[in-house]
Amino acid sequence: MRFFTSPRAMRAVRNFFIILSSAATAAPALASEVNVYSYREPDLIKPLLEDFTKTTGIKVNFIFAKDGLIERMQAEGANSPADVLLTPEFGLLTRAKEAGVTAPNTSPELAAAIPAALRDPENHWFALTRRARVFYVSKDRVKETAMTYEELAEPKWKGRVCMRSGQHTYSVALIASMIAHHGKEKAEAWLQGLKANLARKPAGGDREAVRDVQAGLCDVAIGNTYYMAAMLKNPDQKAWADAVRIVFPNANDRGTHVNVSGMVLAAHAPNKASAEKLMAYLVSPAAQKIYADANSEYPVVPGIDATELVKTWGELKPDSLPLGEIARLRKEASELVDKVQFDAGPGS
C-alpha cells in the first residue's frame, strides 16, 4: 500500500475527495422501494405497479399467493417485510384487521378519494374497486326486469335458483347485508326461503351457476358482475354469458349489494412512507381507471367511469350500507348459514 506524503500528492488526494464528495451530493439518491403482498393475480396488478414506479421512481417488490399471506404476515411478526397487502375481496380485508397485521392509514388523500362507506371506520382497510352482486337470469325463461334479493325466497322461484356455498365470503357478505336491513330474524326466514328455492346444493363458483342457467337446470344465478366479462372472453364459456342477462337487484329501492377489492397498510411496514405513496397512487384517477378497466369492475372514486362493456350491463345503484356494518355482521351471517343448513341444499 502506498502513502502519499509530498505536498503535491496531498493536494491531489484532497482535490480527488472534494470532487468525489461533490459528485455524491449531485447524484440522485437511490430509489426507494415498497414490498407488496398480493392475493390478486399479478397480471391484473402489473400495469398499475409499473405506472407507479414510472411516476415515482419507487421500486415495487411483488409477492403473489392465492392464500396464506395473512398467516405469513402473522408468522413474520415485527420482522415482516410486507408494506402493503392487496386483496381481491372484502372478507380478506376484515380478516387481516382481525389478525392484527394492519395499521391505520390516516392519509388525507385516501379520506378525500374514498367514500366513508367504502373504508374501515378506523382506517385499517380501503376499497379499491367495486363489483355488484347481481342476478344472471335466463333470457328465455325470465321476463322480469326489476327484481329484489327478498323475492328469491318467494314460492314462484322454487327450484329455479343456483348459487355457490353460503359460507363463501361473497355469500356471507350478502347475508350480512340482509341482517343489517331486516334484522336477524327476518334474514333467517329469508335464507330458509332461498334455500327451499335452490335448484341444487350450493356448489362451484359464480360462473358454474351461470353455466347451469344456460343448461336449463335453473333460471337465476347469483354472481358478481365482473364474471360476465370473464365469460365473454373465454371461448368455452361465452355461450353461458350469451344465454343470460344481468338484473341489478333492488335497483328501485335501497340499491344493489356490492363487494370490493381493497388494500391495507401492513402493521410493521419497513417502508411506510413508500407504502403510503403507493396507497395514495392507487386511488388517483389514473390508477382507478387502469385498475377498473383491467378487472371489468367499478371504480370506488366518484367521477371515474366504468368501461363501455360494464356500462352495457345497466346502471349500478349501489346499496349505501357501509361496509363496516357488513363486516360487523359477518359472524352472525356465517352462523345463520350453519343454523339453517343452507349448504345441504333444498329438501334437507
In terms of pTM, does the model score above 0.75? yes
What was the pLDDT predicted at 321?
95
108's grid cell? 388525507
The 3 state secondary structure assigned to 296-337 is CCEECCCCCCCCHHHHHCCCCCECCCCHHHHHHHHHHHHHHH
Sign (positive/negative) of CA torsion 305, 245, 323, 280?
negative
Task: Tell me how far apart the alpha carbons of residues 265 and 287 are, in angstroms, rounded to a whole number.
Answer: 18
Q: List, for residues 256-273, the tens digit of each pLDDT value.
A: 999 999 999 999 999 999
In angstroms, the CA 294 to CA 42 distance is 11
Grouping H, G, I as helix, E, B as strand and the rest as coil, residue 25 is helix
pLDDT digits over 196-239, tens only?
999 999 999 999 999 999 999 999 999 999 999 999 999 999 99
Distances (CA, A) of 187 to 2, 113, 174: 86, 33, 10
Helix/strand/coil for 11: helix
Nearest Cα to Cα of residue 73 among 58, 86, 60: 86
> Residue 13 corresponds to which cell in the numbers above?
488526494
Sign of the dihedral defined by the CA atoms of residues 294, 220, 251, 165, in that order = negative
Per-residue pLDDT 10s for the chain (348 aa) are 333 333 443 343 334 333 333 333 333 333 599 999 999 988 888 999 999 999 999 999 999 999 999 999 999 999 999 999 999 999 999 999 999 999 999 999 999 999 999 999 999 999 999 999 999 999 999 999 999 999 999 999 999 999 999 999 999 999 999 999 999 999 999 999 999 999 999 999 999 999 999 999 999 999 999 999 999 999 999 999 999 999 999 999 999 999 999 999 999 999 999 999 999 999 999 999 998 888 899 999 999 999 999 999 999 999 999 999 999 999 999 999 999 999 999 988
At position 96, the amino acid (one-letter code) is: A
Fold designation for 33-130+258-312: D-Maltodextrin-Binding Protein; domain 2 (3.40.190)
Contact indicator for 244, 111 with CB cutoff of 8 Å: no
CATH architecture of the domain with residue range 132-257+323-344: 3-Layer(aba) Sandwich (3.40)
What is the structure's pLDDT at 31? 52
- From 175, 91, 167, select the one nearest 133 (Cα to Cα): 175
Contacts by 173-176 with C-beta closer than 8 Å and gap 24+? 173/90, 173/91, 173/133, 173/257, 173/259, 173/326, 173/330, 173/333, 174/133, 174/149, 174/222, 174/257, 175/333, 175/336, 175/337, 176/326, 176/327, 176/329, 176/330, 176/332, 176/333
Distance CA(260)–CA(280), nearest Å, equals: 17
User: Phi, psi at residue 138, to the nearest 5°?
Assistant: -65, 130
> What are the residue boundaries of the structural domains of the chain, listed by start?
33-130+258-312, 132-257+323-344
Alpha helices in the chain (DSSP H): 7-26, 42-56, 69-76, 90-98, 108-113, 169-182, 184-196, 206-214, 226-233, 238-242, 272-282, 285-295, 308-312, 323-339
Fold: same for 33-130+258-312 and 132-257+323-344? yes
Pull the grid cell for residue 197: 328455492
